[in-house]
Amino acid sequence: MIYNYKTFMGLNTIRNTFLLNNENDNCLHYVTENYGMQLYMENNNTIFQCTKDNIKKYLRKYTNINHKDICAINKFLTSSCNDKKISEQKLISISKTIKEKIEKTINVKFDIQLSLEEVEIKKFIYNSLRQHNVKDNYCIVTYSISKCNRMLISDFMVFNSVNDIDIDKISNIIMNEITWSLSKKIQLNSTKNFDIILKNTAAGMFFHECIGHFLEADHYYNSPIRLLKDNKFCSRNITIIENLEYNYDVDDYGSNVCNSIQLIKDGYINNVLSNEVYSNLLGIKNTGNGITENTYMYPFIRMRNMKLLEKPNNIEELISNTDKGILIEKISMGEVNVYTGDFSILVTKSYIINNGVIKEELDEFVLNYNIRQLIEADMEVCNDIESCMSLCGKFGVVVKVNYCTPSVCIKWPKKVGV
């Protein structure tokens, strides 16, 4: 039996992980590798978790893909993403060097756990229109610091490759976070009547979580923002672009990718992100944002590379002109309820601003707002744009994302606050 599929995608993911902790100078090392294939039909999709040999057998038996193309698919899926493969010794050396630099700089005894994970993803997308190879690889550095069995910090950083890892930068960031975790802070009972100033990297996560996810079609048409009058979504100073400078022509459904698509222009919704499924279901433009990195899961609508266009404002001037505010340098996570419009973000590094001066350090707290309040807020955008790579989870599937954002000052309506 030959299946009448529309698009075939073969997928291979490899995770090469090294773990290092205080109790053992030797790294624990393990590798996980998964193969899968997905057949996209007109009315339904089929997912197979399989071995690389089973992919060849299945394609020969149940598809009309010719022998030459099947061999090309198999060769591609079993190839390496990185032609200059990093040695195991170098990975161990990087992990140990970071750990040693931290321990030498800080005299207090800490329990330090570091992990370094190389991720390789290969996709072969095949349909009647094209054959397309997609290769991606990145590296995740995860760190957990504890003292007397109490967790002080736990976070991660994402890099394009192991070669891009800056040991000094990572060590300094971790040491600064240890110092911050031990410093004296004050607790904030309410954010009511505070202006919020988000430093550039914090602004990236804020806009990704609190605006970007609302503009994914599977969320947008279930959320209150689809009922907005005239599509007015936020301050006129906000213009957001997605799929910025994306390197590939197609998504995982084989659809063309709309590069540099303008989601918001001067505060108004211009487009929403979609994939082939939601484009057909809702009769909207297909932006080619169907993405998965998981052999078990379909390609959901995902953001890739978001940019918030900068304005001429200076961050120092915004701070000096703020009577009562909170300067947020780091957001650790965010959650969105697309059905109600509620969102919350965990702020882990911030300061009080009083009469234009940065004052006390604040203990971590949660900002809880509703998207309708964001619509009414005034926003000032700065000129200190910075790019940040991170990871984003949706329906249990994690993908690499990037956001390029400047600092932003949010002046909420007076009734807003927690």
Nearest to 197 by CA among 209, 189, 206: 206
pLDDT in tens, 170-223: 888 888 888 888 888 999 888 888 999 999 999 999 999 889 999 999 999 888
In 41-79, which ranges are E strands? 45-50
**pTM summary value:** 0.89
Q: Residue 84 — very low, low, confident or very high, per pLDDT cuts 50/70/90?
A: very low
pLDDT in tens, 255-296: 999 999 999 999 999 999 999 989 988 889 999 999 998 888
C-beta pairs of 51-60 under 8 Å, 24+ apart in sequence: 52/12, 52/77, 52/78, 55/10, 59/8
Q: Does domain 7-182 have CATH number 3.40.47.10?
A: no
DSSP reduced 3-state for 83? coil
Taking CA atoms, 246 is separated from 150, 221, 241, 303, in Å, by: 42, 25, 12, 11
Residue ranges, CATH 3.30.2290.10, the chain? 7-182
pLDDT in tens, 142-178: 998 888 888 888 999 999 988 888 888 888 888 888 8
CA dihedral 211, 351, 194, 383 (to 10 degrees): -50
